[in-house]
Structure 1
Amino acid sequence: MSNDENDRILELEEQKRILLRKKQELLDRIEKYKNLNKDDNDDDEEDEDESWKGLIYNNSFPKPNDLSNENSKLFKIDGNSNIEDELLSKLDTLPILNKDLRLKYLQRAYPFVDIKILDTSINDSKLQFEISFKNKHTNNSVQFEMISEQNKITSFKVINSDNFSSCNLKNISSPNILLNLIELDRLEFKRHKFFQRLSNKISQKNQNINIEIIENNSCLKLNRLIFRNFPNENIKLDLYIYWNIQLDTTTNEINTDWFIKLNKNDQLLKNKIDLNVIWRKLIKEYGIEVGTEELIKICLFPT
Structure 2
Amino acid sequence: MDFTSDSRAGSQSVPPQEDVPGSSSSSGGGSQLSPEHERVLRLQDVKASLLAKRNALVKEIETLQSKELPIEYRRTALLDLAELVPASDGETRTSVGFQDGYTAVQEELKYKHDCLPLLNMDLRLSYLQETYPYASLVLVDSSNLHVEFTRRADDHFRLILQLPQGPAVLSNNVRWPLRKLENCSNPTTILQGCYEFDRLRCRRDEVFQQVWSSLQSKGVFYRISGSLLSLWRNDLLLQLRFEIEIEGLFPRTHLNARLFKNEIPLSSPDNMALYKVY
Would the aligned equivalents of 2:151 and 2:199 in 1 still touch at CA under 8 Å? no
Q: 1:157 maps to which residue?
A: 167
The percentage of counterpart residues that share the same residue type is 24
Shift of 1:196: 0.9
Q: 2:136 maps to which residue?
A: 114
Shift of 1:269: 2.5
The 5-angstrom pairing of residues 173-252 of structure 1 reads 173-175=184-186, 176-203=189-216, 205-206=217-218, 208-214=219-225, 216=226, 218-225=227-234, 236-248=235-247, 251-252=248-249
Q: Structure 1 243/163 Cα, relative in aligned 2: closer, same or farther at 3 Å? A: closer
Q: 1:270 maps to which residue?
A: 266
Q: 1:143 maps to which residue?
A: 160
Q: 1:92 maps to which residue?
A: 113
- Match of 1:192, SS state, is helix
Q: Structure 1 244/194 Cα, relative in aligned 2: closer, same or farther at 3 Å? A: same
Shift of 1:242: 1.2
Partner Cα separation in structure 2 for residue 163 and residue 90 of structure 1: 46
Query: Aligned-residue CA RMSD in angstroms?
Result: 3.2
- Match of 1:164, SS state, is helix
Of the three residues 74, 99, 103, the one matched with 1:81 is 103
User: C-alpha offsets along residues 183-216 of structure 1, whole Å, 9 cap, x if unaligned?
Assistant: 222222221111111111211x22x3221211x2
TM-score normalised according to structure 2 size: 0.53
Q: Structure 1 197/112 Cα, relative in aligned 2: closer, same or farther at 3 Å? A: same
Unaligned runs of at least 5 residues, structure 2: 1-95
Would the aligned equivalents of 1:78 and 1:97 in 2 still touch at CA under 8 Å? yes
Amino acid at match of 1:115: L
Partner Cα separation in structure 2 for residue 177 and residue 139 of structure 1: 17
Q: Structure 1 164/254 Cα, relative in aligned 2: closer, same or farther at 3 Å? A: same
Q: 2:32 maps to which residue?
A: none
Would the aligned equivalents of 2:193 and 2:251 in 1 still touch at CA under 8 Å? yes
Partner Cα separation in structure 1 for residue 105 and residue 156 of structure 2: 34
Q: Structure 1 255/102 Cα, relative in aligned 2: closer, same or farther at 3 Å? A: closer
Q: 2:254 maps to which residue?
A: 257
User: C-alpha offsets along residues 261-280 of structure 1, whole Å, 9 cap, x if unaligned?
Assistant: 23333x23335xx5849xx8
Unaligned runs of at least 5 residues, structure 1: 1-73, 148-154, 226-235, 281-287, 289-303
Shift of 1:138: 4.1
Would the aligned equivalents of 1:79 and 1:99 in 2 still touch at CA under 8 Å? yes
Whichever of the two has the greater Rg, that structure is 2
Q: Of Structure 1 and Structure 2, which has the larger fraction of its residues in helix?
A: 1
Partner Cα separation in structure 2 for residue 189 and residue 166 of structure 1: 18
- Match of 2:208, SS state, is helix
